[in-house]
Chains A and B, each alone.
Chain A
Amino acid sequence: MARVPLARHLLRAKDLADARYADPLTVPDLAAAAGLSPAHFSREFKRAFGESPHQYLLTRRLERAAALLRTTDWSVADICFAVGAGSVGSFTASFGRIFGSTPQAYRAKFPPAEWQVHIPRCVAQAYARPQNRTFREDPAERASLGFS
């Protein structure tokens, strides 16, 4: 059987981090996906990809969180848990270290999400049209209300 290069095992772990960052994944989980002991895995991952698996997973989550801050109106706590971060406190601290601001301040630098998601005009026309609540436009209605 052909020998599988180490990098292929490491890539499996990297792919897992990309696909399942929202789950409560840990470095030992990534190491298991690569079939290596956590210590050996962390060393080899850093050698192959230039950063530790912990850093990779954290920055993957923060990148997704930043996207959700720009494109949704979710609360910071909802975004924190949606990207698999364990606690709002550590998430906010990590976010600040990487992006140089709080999640709220980061969001405020961008136009509101509703401007960015480009809700098509046909949708706006369909959903934003108010229901007719008797505008006194119906002649019979007007007569019944005493208007001529």
Chain B
Amino acid sequence: MIKLANAQFWVHDQDEALQFYTKTLGWEVKADVTMEAWNFRWLCVAPAPAGPEAPGLVLMPVPGPPMLDADASATLGDLVAKGAGGTLFLETDDCQAAYDDLSARGVKFNDPPTAQPYGIDTSFRDPSGNNIRLTQVLEFDPARGS
């Protein structure tokens, strides 16, 4: 058996990311351990309630040397800021309620909940620019939305 354990986003600032995912989104910290000898911090969060088996999102700092040289590191940071870092696809049972709740908590959405043939969805970004898509899956209906 193979299962999804953790996925990963590059972030510009782990403290800022931690604040956003926990205080703004209300997620839980699955792990936060600093390895001083490596100059590395393993920071993993997950939507609440996050049991031990729940897949987590690892918030990894944009690496510098020796993993990436300074130019490559700056380029990667820029790409993430430009939205090229990737997308996390989330599902909810009520897109409008989640939108209202998260808006009240300070999340700036890219678009309001929008009807799609596959359901209702919306999206927002984390402080680094990573995209997070939030979908309420409904029975497929080509007449609903674009």
Contacts and interface: CB of A to CB of B under 8 A. Distances in A.
Interface of A: 18-20, 22, 64, 68, 71-74, 82, 113-114, 116-117, 119, 123-124, 126-132
Interface string B44-78: 10001100000000001001011100000000000
Given A117-B42, A127-B63, 8 more contacts: A22-B23, A72-B29, A74-B32, A119-B42, A127-B67, A128-B38, A131-B65, A132-B66
A72 B32 contact: yes
27 contacts: A18-B48, A18-B49, A19-B48, A22-B23, A22-B26, A68-B29, A71-B33, A73-B33, A73-B34, A74-B32, A113-B31, A113-B32, A114-B33, A114-B35, A117-B42, A119-B33, A119-B42, A123-B60, A124-B38, A126-B63, A127-B35, A127-B38, A127-B39, A127-B63, A128-B38, A131-B65, A131-B66
A82 B48 contact: no
Contacts of B48: 18-19
Contacts of B126: none
A69 to B, nearest CB: 12
A130 B67 CA distance: 10
Nearest to B43: A72
Contact of A128 (B22, B26, B40, B44): B40
B32 A71 contact: yes
Contacts of B39: 127
B29 A126 contact: no
Contact of A123 (B23, B30, B42, B65): B42
Considering the complex of A and B, which 8 residue pairs feature the smallest CB-CB distances, nearest first? A117-B31, A127-B40, A72-B32, A128-B38, A127-B38, A131-B66, A71-B31, A113-B33
B26 A19 contact: yes
A38 to B, nearest CB: 23
B22 A22 contact: yes
Contact of B40 (A68, A73, A123, A131): A123
B67 A126 contact: yes
B35 A71 contact: no
A11 B39 CA distance: 44
A116 B15 CA distance: 21
Contacts of B49: 18
Contacts of B29: 68, 71-72, 82
B26 A20 contact: yes
B37 A128 contact: yes
A117 B6 CA distance: 11
